[in-house]
Amino acid sequence: MSSAPPAPAATGSIAAEAARRRTFAIISHPDAGKTTLTEKLLLYAGALGGAEAGSVKARQGRREVTSDWMELEKRRGISVSSTVLRFEHAGTVFNLLDTPGHKDFSEDTLRVLSAVDAAVMLIDAAKGVEPQTLRLFEVARARRIPLLTFVNKYDRPGMEPLEVLDHLASVLDLEAIPLNWPVGLPGSFEGVIDRRTDLFHRFTRTSGGATIAPVEVLDAESAAGADEGAWATAREELELLDAVDEEFDDAAFRDGRATALFFGSAVSNFGVGPLLDALVAIAPAPAPRHEVDAAGEPNGVRELEAPFAGLVFKVQANMDPRHRDRIAFVRICSGRFERGMRVTNERTGRTLAMAHAHEVFGRERSLLEEGFPGDVVGVVGAQDLRVGDTLWLEEPARFPAIPSLAPEFFMFVRNGDVSRYKQFRRGLEQLDEEGVVHVLRREAAGDPVPVLAGVGRLQFDVAVNRMEHEFNAAVRLEEAPWTVARRTEPEDVPTVREATGAEVLVRADGTHLAVFRSEFVLQRLERDHPEITLDRLLTR
């Protein structure tokens, strides 16, 4: 049932360094425990600089979680922005990309999934696959991202383990291969049997789950004596699995057709250690990346040992409120990164000296002198970089565009203080460049009032909060009449504008969005003009 990581090449080579990288995201429905699991993985890796993990809603005396650094995140207890966390464990360099769980921030998660080699899919043991989990799973499957599935909250009442397997098969059409198996029913969870070693890992609770849970490792005979009933039930279930279950299929796992399954409880620290070990053992290291030509058509792959190339997958301003800076997150796809190197931005053709390059750990960062495929570099002050940009050295490269979702909610945004127009304009430009919201304009109507667009209403809350606190610009929002949008081509704009209940808005990068007052208006236009472009997916 085990799979070893690929054998490294010669020590110190780019291939060897890439082989010990694991770059992954955690995806889940809100409240499934994603941020808690992130914090506990850091705890078990020894990456917190102390013996205690933080809490999403920290009580007095408890530290806050590392990945939620915005004040808005701390107040609401939800993640609204993705975070990069770089740490080492067992000789492996991890780049963990914590993603927002709420559906209103799905676009941020889409950008993150373009930069990872694997993902941990977190599922609530009682609720199973929820809508947002399903949506993110479909994106991961389309990208063939290998998935490790962690069935969380197993110390509470929920589905029994065999039910979990049936549930995943029926809802996701996905083969789930358990690499450990729970002992004790949901709500009376005692530990897990490691299917590779047949050893029972019995956990002991710690106060508030703040420290590593003590583990007693027992062989079969000792485990049966310690808890004959729960152990016997677990063994019977495993015998059923063994009768029909094949060996762990590494090829199916890496291709996204099967998932490695684990049981545990992040809040109690049960099963977190085995998950971290599995990320070292079976999560794939970085591989050569596909390239495209100027038209977006496939154009071979960029080998790991080729000269440096990287993908900008996220831009974030004001992570450090003392300096009001701007940081672009670059996934290294090939070659060796060295601080100060001068690279070319494929989109603009301009060169950039990456002198202010950092490794990132939540809000904290430190100078990064070198990096390898799989690493994430935080480039500070790069005003010219946008989400989706490809950076290259010596040999030109172009990676596929990062998709974004067609917005479903629209608001007119007005400046609340005419004396602060520059701050208002700069704030909107920054939020648009980061992808917090789409900022659109009605060029044909000569209307100067910008339109904010997003896939969820919480995006507007974040935009207003950041405009006020980071750019000192008061804004007023007013509901706009549109409910659905599609990307269209410039030559199709006159046809769209002729339709009753339709309009065309333009993004700063020139993208045209056809917006409609209802699905009926869109369907009528599609019926009457099947020749025009009305695409659900945008790109950045």
Q: Is 362 left (phi over 0), alpha (psi -120 to 50) or beta?
A: left
Report whether 142 contacts 27 (CB < 8 A).
no
Contacts (Cβ under 8 Å, ≥6 apart) of 239: none
**Residue 33 annotated in ligand binding:** yes
CA distance 497 to 504: 7
Report whether 496 contacts 514 (CB < 8 A).
yes
**Residue 348 annotated in ligand binding:** no
**Residue 417 annotated in ligand binding:** no
Q: What 3-state class would DSSP assign to 222? A: helix
SS3 content of the chain, % helix, strand, coil (to 5): 30, 30, 40
**Residue 314 annotated in ligand binding:** no
CA distances from 434 to 206, 343, 354, 384, 420 (A): 40, 21, 19, 12, 21
CA distance 496 to 516: 9
**Residue 35 annotated in ligand binding:** yes
CA distance 37 to 67: 11
3-class secondary structure per residue, 162-216: HHHHHHHHHHHCCEEEECEEEECCCCCCCEEEECCCCEEEEECCCHHHCCCCCEE
CA distances from 475 to 431, 453, 460, 500 (A): 14, 15, 11, 30
**Residue 153 annotated in ligand binding:** yes
**Residue 474 annotated in ligand binding:** no
**Residue 29 annotated in ligand binding:** yes
CA distance 440 to 451: 5
Question: Shortest CA distance to 85 belongs to which of 347, 322, 378?
Answer: 378
- Token representation of residue 298: 């496939």
**Residue 101 annotated in ligand binding:** yes
**Residue 31 annotated in ligand binding:** yes
**Residue 293 annotated in ligand binding:** no
**Residue 99 annotated in ligand binding:** yes
DSSP single-letter state for residue 128: B
**Residue 362 annotated in ligand binding:** no
**Residue 89 annotated in ligand binding:** no
Question: Shortest CA distance to 363 belongs to which of 8, 71, 60, 122?
Answer: 71
**Residue 269 annotated in ligand binding:** no
**Residue 249 annotated in ligand binding:** no
Place of tokens 């799989």: 374
Point out the annotated binding site for GTP. Answer: 28-35, 98-102, 152-155
User: Residues at the annotated binding site?
Assistant: 28-35, 98-102, 152-155
